[in-house]
Amino acid sequence: MGASKLQIHSKRLNDIALVAKVFAHPARVAILEYISKQKDCICSDIVDEIGLSQPTISQHLQVINKAGLLKGNFKGKSICYCINIKKFQEFQELFNSFFNKTKFNCC
Amino acid sequence: MGASKLQIHSKRLNDIALVAKVFAHPARVAILEYISKQKDCICSDIVDEIGLSQPTISQHLQVINKAGLLKGNFKGKSICYCINIKKFQEFQELFNSFFNKTKFNCC
DNA sequence: ATATATAATCGTAATATTGCAATATCAAAT
DNA sequence: ATTTGATATTGCAATATTACGATTATATAT
């Protein structure tokens, strides 16, 4: 097969997995960290910073964006990617609630 | 290509991505949750519970295990999978430190 | 209007992941 | 020693992901 059997799981479990997928590639973690560190949201140099080609970075940005983690703004000539802190916080809470729930019982 | 270019990222970023990968499939999240809920660590019925074949579950368990999240114990005839709470806690802290660090700045 | 800079999309190749049937392994009980 | 029950491994097919070159779209400046 190759495709995940999403139907058999609850929306909650699928959601957790979807969010985790965003962080499941080091380039995406690096991109998020880099964006957050840029005080003035300079953007196009993510490519130089990370060391992957422009199309590849663009692809990773799309994945991050589809999860709702980006806010694009215009600042002069170039697009400014920013982190959607509200969503980011939501994701942190989703993980923490899963971690906390799971941390009990067993052995 | 198809393979991630791991060399270009720091160990820390690769580690975060590796941990995230464990949670990046709903079956694995389901398995972790199910194991944690079983007070007496009954095990072999994960297969019945989740609805995937035994080899597939075994494969997912391996992924979880390689990350260090399982503690296998023997209890009567069947192996008892338990969550390695220490590692689990470590992972939670890794995520939280990343989330907290990233939550500042930008737009 | 044209040139320039920046980012997105397309097409494609390489690799990874997911899933299962068949088989093998291993431990406990008989 | 053999059977039995439970888990791991192997082999394979289908799909997804990662990466990049070439191209296209978009916006700003000239």
- Show Cβ contacts of residue B35 under 8 Å, excluding neighbours closer than 6 positions: A106, B41, B43, B46, B81, B82, B83
For residues B60-82, give the mean pLDDT.
79
pLDDT of residue B80: 74
**pLDDT one-digit tens code per residue, B12-62:** 999 999 999 999 999 999 999 999 988 666 678 899 999 999 999 999 999
Asked if the C-beta of A85 comes within 8 angstroms of chain B's C-beta atoms, the answer is yes
Q: Nucleotide D27: nearest residue by CA–C1'?
A: A77
pLDDT of residue B107: 59
Distance of alpha carbon A105 from alpha carbon B7, whole angstroms: 39
Answer whether B23's CB lies under 8 Å from B29's CB: yes
Answer whether B73's CB lies under 8 Å from B82's CB: yes
For residues B77-100, give the mean pLDDT.
89
pLDDT-based confidence at B90, cuts 50/70/90? very high
pLDDT of residue B2: 79
Backbone angles phi, psi at B64, to 5 degrees: -65, -40
Q: Do A51 and B5 touch (CB under 8 A)?
A: yes
pLDDT, one tens digit for every residue, chain A (107 residues): 779 999 999 999 999 999 999 999 999 999 999 999 886 666 788 999 999 999 999 999 999 999 999 986 655 555 678 899 999 999 999 999 999 999 876 65
**pLDDT one-digit tens code per residue, A74-105:** 555 556 788 999 999 999 999 999 999 998 76
Distance of alpha carbon A22 from alpha carbon A84, whole angstroms: 14
Nearest residue to A89 via CA among B93, B65, B105, B102: B102
Q: Nucleotide C9: nearest residue by CA–C1'?
A: A55
Answer whether A84's CB lies under 8 Å from A22's CB: no
Question: What's the Å distance between residue B10 CA and nucleotide D27 C1'?
Answer: 35
pLDDT of residue A103: 85
State chain B's mean pLDDT as an integer: 88
Distance of alpha carbon B70 from alpha carbon B10, whole angstroms: 26
Please tell me the CATH code under which domain A16-102 is placed.
1.10.10.10
By CB atoms closer than 10 A (0-12, 13-18, 19+), residue B95 is buried
The label of the residue with tokens 């969550």 reads B83
State chain A's mean pLDDT as an integer: 88
Answer whether A82's CB lies under 8 Å from A88's CB: no
Could you give the C-alpha distances from A47 to A4, A43, A53, B46, B56, in angstroms and in order? 31, 9, 6, 44, 38
Q: Which CATH class is domain B12-98?
A: mainly alpha
Whether the per-residue pLDDT at B79 is higher than 80: the answer is: no
Whether the per-residue pLDDT at B74 is higher than 80: the answer is: no
In chain B, % of residues over pLDDT 90: 72
Q: Which residues touch strand C (CB under 7 A)?
A: A 1-5, 43-44, 47, 54-55, 58-59, 61-62, 72, 77-79; B 1-4, 21, 24-25, 27, 52-56, 59-60, 63, 74, 76-77
For residues B79-88, give the mean pLDDT.
86
User: Which has the higher per-residue pLDDT, B41 or B68?
Assistant: B68
